[in-house]
A and B are shown apart, each in its own frame.
Chain A
Amino acid sequence: MPARLSLQRAPSVLPGFGPTLGFTLVYLSLIVLIPLAALVLRPVELGFAGFVAAVTEPRVLAALRLSFGASLIAAAINAVFGLIVAWVLVRYRFPGKRLIDALVDLPFALPTAVAGVALTALYAPNGWIGGLLQPLGIEVAFTPLGVVVALVFIGLPFVVRTVQPVLQDIEREVEEAAASLGASRLQTMGRVILPAILPALLTGYALALARAVGEYGSVIFIAGNMPMVSEIAPLLIVIKLEQYDYAGAAAVGVAMLIIAFAMLLVLNVLQRWKHAR
């Protein structure tokens, strides 16, 4: 009898499965699934050739290139500095550590429009940081560099928050073992710690990347939004909507989804391949 029980669970005595699952499915379909289906189906009216023509317009291509290029760079910056922040928060003690730890989540909590105007004020030629960079000939606000800065801001918590718990779980005994076998600290870092946190680091990178690609609020203020130069793909969707080009807007949206999906797939495969070795 016990063996049979473990194979085939007895029906639950708890009530409410039907209504709660039913409500969940209806709500999910109405709010999320049906509207998303509208997005995917809308470009169909353009036909395949029309869809390709809509997403290979020079202006659309430039916007997609900027959105994905800036996101890849920003996520890479976050991977490096996010790893350092996570390491410092887990391994070292210093005054104000708890405050810093709580502050890491600020980009999750701060509305993106507020981040956008604040970063623009900082990096404008007359701003605190922009004023320092101007004599050096570096312009951040209203250039593609500004896009990267905004995307670093909003992607910052992802890497820290995925790497932090993994670092916490690494047992110090493993490092001691490596050391007692004669590994230098640098070797232990590279051969023991880094491989252990690499999957989490990749996940954090992917999350930051995915968030950055779709980001709108924090970017449009600092970007300057010049067509072909500093115009991001989500902004192009808004512009097309304002011109009542619904199918064109949906086509850009679908193109973004496809590219984002392909990039995440590559990262996933990379992670599996790393695991398999």
Chain B
Amino acid sequence: MPADVAAAGPADAPVPTRVSPSAIEEPGWVRLLLIGTGLGFIVLFLVLPLVSVFAEAFRHGVAAYLEELHSEDTLAAIRLTLLVAAIAVPCNLVFGVAAAWAIAKFEFPGKSLLITFVDLPFSVSPVVAGLIYVLIFGAHGWLGPWLMEHDVQIIFAVPGIVLATIFVTFPFIARELIPLMQEQGTEEEEAAISLGASGWQTFWRVTLPNVKWALLYGVLLCNARAMGEFGAVSVVSGHIRGMTNTMPLQVEILYNEYNFIGAFAVASLLALLALVTLVLKSLLEWRYGHELAATRR
């Protein structure tokens, strides 16, 4: 092993006390090769697709871009997406907090099974997530005939879209809170209770401040997925223009009509949402990493 050759390589490498650097560091050319391969892969699979969204959207200039965004169906899609997220995220927020309180602060049999069930929606295909609600509420589903009789529409309407969205974003907030609250234990809450605080006071003044950044982190991821969900929503939506089209579905419809500027204009809004989510998420990890669950630090 030519130790002197490798030792002349990376100058910034920490020099170990007893062992020659060549033995615990890769030679300079290997490092360069690995960095080049890794970055090349990232650029090819992440950066280029992201850039191409905006390049395609602005292909015919800013005016054409803005005009596409002002079309009535697109505006309706944006409104529906905001509405669905505004219902689905709070539902899962309440669930996440309740589940984390029960699971992290108390001992009971079957706990790990319950945690597995909470994570279950992550391992189900989005299409299956839509399918299960069609099997229950669809025209030929379990409750379909009864719903038809009473003139209640769930599939091909907003309630179905909300249900499918709740399903695919189900675990996001709970899985941020459960490990963190388990780490934190129950001592602070017990102290508050023994000093005479009520249950709600303890929750608002002790528990919530302890988990607020993790809660925000979960809401952030939950919201990104809720606004961007495609597969599950597409199964239950029925693609009725101006009525049951969310933004991702609007991308598909415009794309299939060869209105590429329109499709990529809506896509660029969703890409922007993804970028904002990533920036906020990174900020939370850097600034408040110690207040997030151990897996996020």
Contacts and interface: CB of A to CB of B under 8 A. Distances in A.
Of B34, B46, B141, B234, chain A has the most CB atoms within 10 Å of the CB of B46
Interface string B263-297: 11001001101110111011000000000000100
Contacts of B16: 172, 176
A88 B37 CA distance: 9
Given A106-B46, A106-B274, A188-B24, A113 B248 contact: yes
Interface residues of A, number: 90
A153 B199 CA distance: 46
B contact residues, range: 35 or more
B125 A256 contact: yes
A35 B136 contact: yes
Interface of B is mostly: helix
Contacts of B62: none
Given A14-B186, A117-B264, A221-B255, A28 B35 contact: no
A99 to B, nearest CB: 9
Interface in B31-64: 31, 34-35, 37-39, 41-42, 44-50, 52-53, 56
Interface string B1-32: 10000000000100010111011111000010
Contacts, number: 285
A7 interface: no
B100 to A, nearest CB: 9
B124 interface: yes
B68 interface: no
Interface stretch (B113-121, B145-153, B208-216): B113-121
Contacts of B128: 39, 214, 234, 237, 253, 256-257
B229 A92 contact: no
Interface of B: 1, 12, 16, 18-20, 22-26, 31, 34-35, 37-39, 41-42, 44-50, 52-53, 56, 94-95, 98-99, 101-103, 105-108, 114, 117-118, 120-121, 123-128, 131-136, 138-142, 163, 166-167, 170, 186, 189-190, 193-194, 199, 202-203, 221, 224, 227-231, 234-235, 247-249, 251-252, 255, 260, 263-264, 267, 270-271, 273-275, 277-279, 281-282, 295
Given A113-B270, A121-B52, A156-B45, 18 more contacts: A17-B108, A19-B98, A24-B98, A32-B167, A38-B135, A88-B39, A109-B221, A110-B228, A112-B231, A113-B230, A117-B264, A122-B48, A179-B20, A180-B23, A184-B23, A188-B23, A246-B134, A257-B124
Interface of A: 9, 12-17, 19-21, 23-25, 27-28, 31-36, 38-39, 42, 81, 84-85, 87-89, 92-94, 98, 100, 102-115, 117-119, 121-122, 127-129, 152-153, 156, 165, 172, 175-176, 179-180, 183-185, 188, 210, 213-217, 221, 234-235, 237-238, 241, 244, 246, 249-250, 253, 256-257, 260
20 contacts: A13-B194, A14-B199, A32-B121, A35-B133, A35-B135, A36-B124, A39-B135, A81-B41, A85-B42, A89-B38, A105-B281, A109-B275, A113-B230, A185-B24, A185-B25, A214-B124, A216-B127, A217-B234, A221-B255, A234-B126
